[in-house]
């Protein structure tokens, strides 16, 4: 992502909110004491702002209770400091959702997301507020592999900002971006119980599948699954295969999740031009993780990691696995058989690491490719991660660690 591209995102946000009309949700009947559900009032405020071609939907100081609601284009959801917006946990509030798209196709979800947006432009969610998904009843009611409602859900949207809010206790994914581009996530915090402490898995912090021009900065993620997950799946009839590309993740802290920053395992449409820099990971299962497998296909290339501190990593510090099957034993299999290459064969190449330091319980560096398509051209400079098991390489080519090629 170029500096010009990032600046363009900020300019778009400023132009959206500079002279917008303000719609206080309490003027539409919202209860700021949190005793009564304000779903209808919030929806009315959003609809009115949309009818007037956009504006600021404001939550003044207080506590609010709500069911799910939908955002519209040119809307800023503005929270005053110390606002708490808590969501109802009644499953009847979150029925299966089927959305009719402009081309006549439909998009379906098993549950309505808490806050959703379909094919919108110029949306901002901002303020030092707590957004509480009330996820505990969902985790107990529908443990894995069951689906649950997602928290912030954007589909095929453009120019999205989420800034400063604290997202807590999401039933499932915290932020889900599908076919969405030009997204700024700034100064937010995400917290769910770690899955090895409480039954809160599948609560990915930031999940992108696929997205473009995503800028994540100054965020804190402490959750029960991957802190940041970047995928690029098969595509659909409307959008086709859309790579995940032009991603910048910086100046952020990741705690407790399965992977601090994970790429894959859905890689069919390809992932490229991704930079992660100036971050601290503490207590995640893995630090920097690229995972895929046969059948998922896709080219993963031009990935850059700079100035990362990894502390108390529970498994591998840096891991690349083209044999991912969800088990640690499968990842360490040395006797991988050769199969013919086709368009479902993954290809991982041109990965750069510089200034990676810290410690991990298992291998500091773990790379496993395929005999028919080895992991190619991985260079690590100023790499100093201490571990009990050293490094593990299998089916690789041109791996250089601190200037020395690994044979």
Active-site residue, from 258, 304, 384, 398: 258
Q: Which residues, 6 or more positions from 233, have their beta carbon under 8 angstroms from its beta carbon?
A: 209, 210, 266, 268, 269
Which spans in 353-405 are helix H? none
Compute and round to an integer the Cα radius of gyration of the chain.
Answer: 21
Judged by phi (left if over 0) then psi (alpha if -120 to 50, else beta), residue 194 lies in beta
Strand partners, 216: 185, 249
Residue identified by tokens 């499932």 is 172
CB-side exposure of 217: number of CA atoms within 13 Å? 12
Q: Which residues, 6 or more positions from 404, have their beta carbon under 8 angstroms from its beta carbon?
A: none
Please give the Cα distance from 155 to 160 (Å, whole number).
11
Please give the Cα distance from 261 to 245 (Å, whole number).
15
Catalytic residue check, 215: no
User: What token pair was written down for 137?
Assistant: 């009843």
List the catalytic residues: 258
């Amino acid at each position: 992502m170029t500096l010009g591209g990032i600046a363009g995102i900020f300019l778009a946000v400023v132009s959206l909110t500079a002279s917008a009309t303000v719609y206080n949700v309490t003027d539409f009947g919202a209860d700021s004491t949190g005793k009564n559900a304000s779903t209808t009032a919030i929806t009315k405020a959003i609809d009115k702002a949309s009818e007037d071609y956009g504006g600021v939907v404001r939550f003044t100081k207080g506590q609010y209770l709500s069911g799910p609601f939908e955002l519209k284009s040119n809307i800023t959801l503005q929270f005053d400091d110390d606002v708490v917006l808590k969501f109802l946990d009644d499953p009847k509030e979150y029925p299966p959702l089927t959305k009719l798209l402009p081309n006549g196709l439909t998009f379906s979800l098993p549950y309505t997301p808490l806050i959703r947006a379909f094919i919108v432009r110029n949306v901002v969610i901002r303020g030092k507020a707590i957004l509480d998904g009330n996820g505990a009843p969902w985790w107990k009611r529908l443990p894995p592999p069951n689906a649950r409602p997602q928290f912030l859900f954007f589909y095929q949207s453009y120019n999205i900002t989420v800034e400063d809010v604290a997202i807590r206790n999401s039933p499932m994914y915290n932020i889900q971006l599908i076919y969405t581009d030009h997204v700024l996530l700034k100064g937010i915090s995400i917290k769910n119980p770690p899955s090895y402490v409480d039954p809160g898995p599948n609560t990915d912090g930031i999940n992108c599948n696929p997205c473009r021009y995503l800028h994540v900065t100054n965020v804190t993620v402490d959750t029960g699954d991957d802190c940041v997950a970047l995928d690029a799946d098969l595509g659909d009839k409307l959008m086709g295969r859309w790579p995940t590309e032009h991603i910048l993740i910086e100046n952020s802290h990741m705690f407790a999740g399965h992977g601090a920053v994970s790429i894959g395992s859905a890689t069919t449409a390809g992932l490229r031009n991704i930079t992660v820099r100036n971050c601290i990971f503490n207590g995640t299962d893995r630090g920097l993780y690229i995972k895929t497998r046969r059948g998922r296909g896709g080219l993963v290339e031009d990935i850059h990691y700079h100035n990362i501190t990894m502390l108390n990593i529970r498994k591998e510090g840096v891991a690349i696995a083209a044999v991912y099957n969800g088990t640690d034993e499968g990842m360490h299999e040395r006797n991988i058989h050769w199969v013919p290459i086709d368009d479902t064969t993954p290809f991982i190449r041109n990965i750069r690491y510089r200034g990676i330091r810290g410690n991990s319980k298992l291998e500091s560096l773990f790379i496993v490719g395929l005999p028919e398509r080895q992991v190619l051209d991985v260079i690590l400079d100023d790499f100093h991660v201490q571990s009990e098991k050293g490094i593990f390489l299998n089916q690789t080519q041109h791996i250089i660690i601190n200037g020395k090629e690994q044979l």
